[in-house]
Copies of this chain bind each other. A is one copy, B any other.
């Protein structure tokens, strides 16, 4: 920011027209009658001077900038799901000349004066979607959203013959809201399949033997349970470790399925069956919605929004 900035005035001077004309040429503004020779002269001057528009001034005048902000706030930050979503969102926005910036501040309130500084074109508030709003209305719900993916997970166990299922949650604060949502959806999917009520089990407590004890208590109280669906792969792998500690055969005595396919799933003992979601596709869809573009019409669209069961040995 220290060097003298090339402004539109410099380009105007160099090309012998006014700054207004420079703006019309560089923005290809409709309704202007500027001959090609003049346009070419302006473009050359801009290139030679290395002119870069001052986005602040543009945004101030236009009323918004070409930035899209993703507000993650209280949601889990370190998983493959979010990374994929960000990748898809960022790539699609970039294809339309916008830049994605991700905000991780632990504040649910997005009336942030500093954020207002950049007048983003749009703010995608994942925090609000999953904490304040009804996610089923925003993320595809039972069609192709989190609810639908949860149903795929449950249906895999039902399809394998399981009639009594537990749902493994874990204590990560950032996962509590999503975990509660996932449990609700799983409970509904179980009810839909005519199954008895889904039973929750909490894993991931810091105490060394907690997971083993929790699983033992679960099966003592519900010996009819033959399968566990994990809120995510980590929860499922904790159930695997507890099952191993209890000497339970997986999947014969207890089947286990994860969710969100981390690279660690295949390294588990036994390798973990899980549910893969193409979160990048969700990111791309979200980008198009934010920009007011029509949904992508290629085949890639709806197929990749559906969850896929990655079959391994645990369920």
A: residues with CB less than 8 A from B are: 1, 52-60, 63-67, 69, 77-80, 82-83, 86-87, 90-91, 94, 97-106, 111-119, 204, 234, 237-238, 240-241, 244, 262-264, 267-269
- CB-CB under 8 A from A241, the residues of chain B are 267, 269
- Inter-chain contact A117/B234, CB cutoff 8 Å: no
Q: Is the CB of A116 within 8 A of B264?
A: no
Q: Which chain B positions have C-beta within 8 A of A238? A: 267
Contact A99 B90 (CB under 8 A): no
Please indicate the chain B residues that have their CB under 8 angstroms from the CB of A58 in the complex: 117
With A90-B104, A117-B66, A240-B267 known to touch, is A56 a contact of B53 (CB < 8 Å)?
no
Copy number in the complex reads 2
Which chain B positions have C-beta within 8 A of A55? 113-119
Cβ contact within 8 Å between B66 and A114: yes
11 A-B residue pairings within 8 Å (CB atoms): A1-B63, A1-B64, A53-B113, A67-B114, A86-B104, A90-B105, A100-B105, A237-B267, A262-B264, A264-B267, A267-B268
**Contact between A97 and B114 (Cβ–Cβ < 8 Å)?**
yes
Chain B residue at minimum C-beta to C-beta distance from A63: B1
Q: When the two chains form their complex, are residues B56 and A117 in contact, meaning their CB atoms are under 8 A apart?
A: yes
Main secondary structure on A side of the interface with B: mixed
A86 to B86, CA, bound (A): 15
User: Of residues A55, A98, A238, A268, which shows the largest number of chain B Cβ atoms within 10 Å of its Cβ?
Assistant: A55
Bound: A200/B67 CA distance, A: 43
- Alpha-carbon distance A86/B103, docked complex (angstroms): 10
Residues of B within 8 A of A101 (CB): 69, 101-103
From A52, A58, A99, A103, name the one whose CB has the most chain B CB atoms within 10 angstroms.
A99
A89 nearest CB across to chain B (Å)? 9
Instruction: State the CA gap A59–B264 with chains docked (Å).
Output: 45
CB nearest to A53 among chain B residues: B113
A57 — which chain B residues lie within 8 A by C-beta?
A: 60
In the complex, which of the residues B52, B78, B103, B267 contacts A79, with contact meaning CB atoms closer than 8 Å? B78
Smallest Cβ-Cβ distance to A170: which chain B residue = B263
Q: Which residues of B lie under 8 Å from residue A80 when comparing CB positions? A: 78
16 other contacts beyond A55-B117, A98-B114, with CB at 8 A cut-off? A1-B63, A55-B115, A56-B56, A56-B65, A57-B60, A86-B104, A90-B104, A99-B112, A100-B103, A100-B105, A102-B104, A204-B263, A241-B269, A264-B264, A267-B268, A269-B269
Q: What's the least CB distance linking A22 to chain B, in Å?
A: 16
- Residue pair B105, A56 in contact (C-beta under 8 Å): no
Q: Which residues of B contact A237 (CB under 8 A)?
A: 264, 267
Query: Would A118 and B116 count as touching, CB distance under 8 A?
Result: no
